[in-house]
Amino acid sequence: MAIAFAITWSFCGLYWLTRSGVEAAPGLFVRAGNIAAVWGPSIAGFVMAWIAGGRSNAISLLARVWRSPGHWVWVALALAIPLTLQLSGAIAGELVTAYSFTKAIPQTFAAFLFGAFVSLISGPLGEELGWRGFALEKGAEAYGPLTVTLIIGAAWSLWHLPAFIVPGLQNIIFPIGISFWEFSGFTMFGAVIMSWLTFRARGALAPAIIFHFCSLMVVMMVDQTPPLTLSLITLVLYALAACVVIWREPDLGYQRYLDEIKSA
């Protein structure tokens, strides 16, 4: 985790120094640097996997991105859960405070595809080799699945802190207006669901990547300042979903994962 923080926070610090007092929109070079920054966790996971077990172990970690999840239902749930929770939160929030999803309507289909591609190669692919890849599996062995999930959730939240304190950076990454504490709630509860999906999918990372991608795309669709009703109602739904997962499987499916790995 220290490597992930070092890589990402170094880029964020460089952005802070070079963009101080600059009001113009960031150019291609700055945006490319931000994409490189979000790859800190995956780079760290790859490096740690290599240190722990050599090149074959690092390649094995990469292979988990396209490993079969065992059953299509885990991919379907990775799509359905974040979209259902956030759409339900949006509908409920609209009843209290009006807002819009006008940013969800791209000027062209090509613009939509480009935005989706950038979102995929930044957060989901740039983070999940580290969080749900190396850290979750190794941490579960040492601390247990639920404990390490909460640790990862807290680290995941803190890792994003520069996006909330570096001037101008939040405008590139998240809608302006969502607080660090609201965001931390989403990462903590989301971490529980994503750990469960990863273990139930036999360690395949596709469900976690898809869940992360869907969550990110919906957030990016909301207008620049999402109202408190949207954030809090959706957060409550995420909390309820995480509680259901823990209630149904307190070990988040970890024992099933171990049994399937042994029998494979």
Q: How far, in Å, CA of 264 to CA of 86, rounded?
A: 36
Cα–Cα distance measured from residue 264 to residue 258, given in angstroms and rounded to the nearest whole number:
10
Averaged confidence pLDDT in the chain = 83
Give percent of the chain with pLDDT exceeding 70.
77
Confidence at residue 92, expressed as pLDDT on a 0 to 100 scale: 73
Residue 26 has what DSSP assignment? P
pTM, 2 dp: 0.88
Rounded to an integer, the average pLDDT of 230-248 is 90
- Token readout for 214 is 């869907």
Residue pair 163/169 in contact by the 8 Å Cβ criterion = yes
Give yes or no for a contact between 61 and 133, defined as CB atoms under 8 angstroms apart. Answer: yes
What dihedral angle (degrees, nearest 10) is formed by the CA atoms of 226, 207, 203, 122?
-60
pLDDT in tens, 185-230: 999 999 999 999 999 999 999 999 999 998 877 665 554 455 555 6
Domain boundaries, the chain: 2-263
C-alpha 225: how far from its chain's center?
20
Name the range with the highest mean pLDDT among 130-144, 167-181, 218-232: 130-144
- pLDDT tens string 146-162: 999 999 999 999 999 98
* Residue type present at position 224: Q
CB 232 within 8 A of CB 184: no
Q: What pLDDT, on a 0 to 100 scale, did the predictor assign at position 22?
A: 46
Contacts for 177 with CB less than 8 Å, ≥ 6 apart:
224, 225, 226
